Structure 1
């Protein structure tokens, strides 16, 4: 029996009209055009992207309003607004489907987060110690807000971690990071997240040159000094935000950026008090 005649309904000759052997037979289905995705799939994908962008917009707007309320209303607002907003945003994005791991809070990354945290704190401690000892960098630590040892201890151990570091990291490297990562991946997180973190510090840097002896000597006072101080703060905190984001992505945990953020602020406050005390 001719094998070709038995398969003629399902096979065609490849390349030539004549059959030259079994290898020249291919299934007709192999020549069929690839199936097009169902329109419903495209609609669901577009809806998912739209929801992601809405989540990002809501987070950014809430953070902007939080910043304004915390720094330009009542003193009590500056204490509670940022922690409350961070907690509220966490609840919001969890209800929108972001998992604990996407927020940097998954248990599976605690070990790696702790390892990076210890390394970050050790590095910052070394840099701060050198900076406080060198005569030309020591004035940068003379911040009037930390002129006493007791005040610096309370700030570094209570106020800075609870009012600043943990809420900011939860909001930026947790909630915002997770939302941005869904939309644009790590590069989007690093670019947009770092920029927004720098802009977040505009309000807190308005009095930078007036409260720091070293910066006053460099930039002077008045409007130009204030503008220079704000610009420096935005660039510096934006760069810090990039490093925090890298640590968050590298370790998979919020523990590492929280530790680095606290060491920069908390250890910096203690170093400022020591410099004032020894001057």
Structure 2
């Protein structure tokens, strides 16, 4: 083995160890949120800050984390474009009776004030902040040290999909369209919902990761994440009004 190859291997080993450490931390955060039911409004920011501190201690720069100042404007432009596209798609979805039921999620059958609180506070602070910092910032940066870009994209997206296993277990009971779609599967309905959610969110992770890669900014993927989740609540509010 040449000294150059050995040196490269020596550099990759600490990065792999640091990556494993982040994955284990994410498992703990996921259990704390969905099993122990800790308040995500403090768990999300606290977890995000801890992960960023860990990444900085591991030697990652702000640019490697997608948070460099010179990328903010480009990231916001990408985010704005994605938010516009998602908003148009959701609007078409609720205007069509055939697809409107997909927005009738019992978890978000809220009064207007509650929907606004969920869309602009609870979801961004309790969910998006932690997930984006975890998967498209810290994990992305650490993986980039010892893997090729396509491997970074696929690995971070697959882990993002698996992150949603626990919350997916309650989805069939809360969403009319999903519940009806799997009703004929009997005892296997929950497994179908969980598997479908993992695949769907992993694909979403691929799109978010590609936005992160192209823009160089975490703000781009955060914009997409906010659009798909928070706009879903706001348009869901409208869908419930149309269905009543």
Q: TM-score range by the shorter chain?
A: over 0.9
Match of 1:27 in 2: none
How far apart, CA to CA, are the structure 2 residues paired with 1:240 and 1:107? Answer: 26
Match of 1:228 in 2: 192
**Per-residue deviation, 1:150:** 2.2
How far apart, CA to CA, are the structure 2 residues paired with 1:154 and 1:215? Answer: 25
More helix by share: 2
Decide whether the 8 Å contact of 1:71 with 1:78 is kept in 2: no
Matching of residues 162-201 of structure 1 within 5 Å = 162-201=125-164
How far apart, CA to CA, are the structure 2 residues paired with 1:50 and 1:252? Answer: 25
Counterpart check, 1:126 vs 2:88: yes
Match of 1:52 in 2: 15
Match of 2:182 in 1: 219
How far apart, CA to CA, are the structure 2 residues paired with 1:82 and 1:186? Answer: 27
How far apart, CA to CA, are the structure 2 residues paired with 1:68 and 1:277? Answer: 35
**Per-residue deviation, 1:42:** 5.5
5+ unaligned residues in a row in structure 2: which ranges? Answer: none
Which residue of 84, 88, 94 corresponds with 2:50?
88
- In the TM superposition, structure 1's runs of 4+ consecutive aligned residues that sit over 4 Å from their partners are 41-44
Q: Please give the root-mean-square deviation of Cα atoms over the aligned residues, in Å.
A: 1.6
Counterpart check, 1:273 vs 2:237: yes
**Per-residue deviation, 1:179:** 0.6
Q: How many residues align?
A: 241
Q: Of the two, which has the highest radius of gyration?
A: 1
Match of 1:147 in 2: 109
Cα distance per residue 1:170-204 (max 9 Å; x no partner): 11100001011111121111110110000000111
How far apart, CA to CA, are the structure 1 residues paired with 2:101 and 2:113? Answer: 20
Decide whether the 8 Å contact of 1:116 with 1:256 is kept in 2: yes
**Per-residue deviation, 1:96:** 1.2
How far apart, CA to CA, are the structure 2 residues paired with 1:257 and 1:42? Answer: 35
5+ unaligned residues in a row in structure 1: which ranges? Answer: 1-35
Matching of residues 26-105 of structure 1 within 5 Å = 39=3, 44-73=7-36, 75-105=37-67
Counterpart check, 1:138 vs 2:100: yes
- TM-score normalised per structure 2: 0.94
**Per-residue deviation, 1:268:** 0.2
